[in-house]
Chain A
Amino acid sequence: MPAVNDKTGGNMKKIKRFEKIRHEPTNVKELLTEMKDVSELITDLAYSAVIFDIREIAEEVKELESRMDKLLYQIRLTAMLATRTVEDAEQFSGLLQVASAAEDISNAAGDIVRLLDTKIENRPFLPSLLQKADEKIRIIHLPEKSPMSDKTIGELNVEAETGVRIIAIRKGERWVYNPGDSIILSGGDMLIVRGVDDGYIRLKGFAEGKRGLNNE
């Protein structure tokens, strides 16, 4: 099943990105920013995979986990090459510690989705263990005639308007992870979202054409 990650590109693009990482110098800031972003996304994805028992998301978590290995390797190389003085080395050592912590977090996310390898009858309680949080992970189905249909996520400004972040979207057989502002929503899409209760209720009502996005 083809998967698209708005950050890392589709499968084809993904391979390209890895090659780019191997041959071209990349700067430490961009590497670290991506590592931070991935470490936050990957835990949300891991919890979603376990809560809703979705294999595709679990696979994406594993891919992101290996991407983090590569990013960590690259940031180490880049930092070493940039080190000239003892002060540089001391500061870079702290920076690499942060990068390595982000990678540890991703590995933990990978371990979370491996819980799905346990027979399903041994883990019926798993969703409820993770579902009661301040910011809950939930599913919203867009009906065919949803007011959100044919609009981009950026246009709707979903996260700033509702406090709910779209973590992943299933479009037919295809998944989009960490959708960016340019992703167009369509009727029939299934959104996996993370956020506070009142924002979720508002977004769900709007998605189903029952209310405006902003009114009480």
Chain B
Amino acid sequence: MNEIEELFLEMKDTSELMIDLAYSALLYNSREIAEEVFNLEEMIDELNANIQKSSVSSAVNDGNVEKALVILRLANCIESIADGAMEIADVVLRDIEPHPILKMSVMESDTIITRVVVDEKSVLADKTLGETKLTSKTGMWVIAIRREKSWFFGPDENTVLKKGDIILARGPKEGEEDLIKIASGRKRRV
């Protein structure tokens, strides 16, 4: 994977995580989650700056201006998507409680967000997210994990789940019940 591809991978995944987190922040009226969206926005800016640099320098080297332009435009689009996520999260950081309709809309949309606790009896405890195959078995994608007082945002397949972890996940309504059963230990197979 070349450098620009790697930067885009990071940027696209980050912008999507930001959107999931922004809606989660609305749903749970959580300042902590909203603040993370702002932190990630800084990362997006940095990634965009790096993409700009490598794309301009590659244009200088190979003289392919059109290619550099396409790359710059795409990076700007993804940056705009990330900005949208930030605008959403911003509503949570005001001193006024978000309108209750916001929460209802997040709950009623095609893709829902849900929160479950990993019980000590759960098959998820002490496994990595990759091992659990949670997403491919329930359709629920883990956005964040809260362990005691700390948050892990955007966990990957190597992230280990522990009993007592609070999992924040997004996915289809049909996947929610399964996730709840698995996390509570009522269902022993993922």
B38, CB-defined interface residue at 8 Å: no
> Could you tell me if A37 and B67 are in contact, using CB atoms closer than 8 angstroms?
no
> Does A26 sit within 8 A of B, measured CB to CB?
no
Known: A29-B104, A97-B90, A104-B87. A122 touches B12 (CB 8 A): no
Q: How many residues of chain A are within 8 Å of chain B by beta carbon? A: 56
Contact A107 B91, CB 8 Å, known A36-B23, A132-B9, A160-B171: no
Tell me the complex Cα distance, A94–B5, Å: 36
Task: Give the one of B96, B104, B105 with max A CB within 10 A.
Answer: B105
For the complex, what is the distance from the CA of A198 to the CA of B172, rounded to whole Å?
Answer: 18
User: Cβ of A69 < 8 Å from any Cβ of B?
Assistant: no
Contact call B141/A122, Cβ cutoff below 8 A: no
Within 8 A of A (CB), among B137-190: 137-141, 156, 171-172, 174-175, 178
Do residues B26 and A29 form an inter-chain contact, with CB atoms below 8 A? no
Q: What residue in chain B is nearest A91 (Cβ atoms)?
A: B99
A89-132 residues at the B interface, CB under 8 angstroms: 90-92, 94-95, 97-98, 100-102, 104-105, 107-109, 111-112, 115, 118-119, 122-123, 125-126, 128-130, 132
Q: Let me know if A101 and B84 touch, CB within 8 A.
A: yes
CB pair B101–A101 under 8 Å, yes or no, is no
User: In the complex, what's the smallest C-beta–C-beta distance from B93 to chain A, in angstroms?
Assistant: 10
The residues of B that contact A97 with a CB separation of less than 8 Å are: 87-88, 90-91
Provide the residues of chain A in CB contact with B135, threshold 8 Å: 163, 195-196, 199
What separation, in Å, do the CA atoms of A164 and B69 have in the docked complex? 33
Cross-interface CB contact of B8 among A43, A105, A130, cutoff 8 Å: A130
A101-B84, A111-B76, A128-B5 are known contacts; what are 6 more A-B pairs with Cβ within 8 Å?
A32-B102, A37-B111, A115-B70, A119-B66, A123-B67, A132-B9
Pairs of residues from A and B, 4 with the lowest C-beta to C-beta distance, nearest first: A199-B136, A101-B87, A108-B80, A122-B66
Interface residues, chain B, CB within 8 Å of chain A? Answer: 1, 4-5, 8-9, 12-13, 16, 19, 23, 26, 64, 66-67, 69-71, 73-74, 76-78, 80-81, 83-85, 87-88, 90-91, 94, 96-99, 101-102, 104-106, 108-111, 133, 135-141, 156, 171-172, 174-175, 178
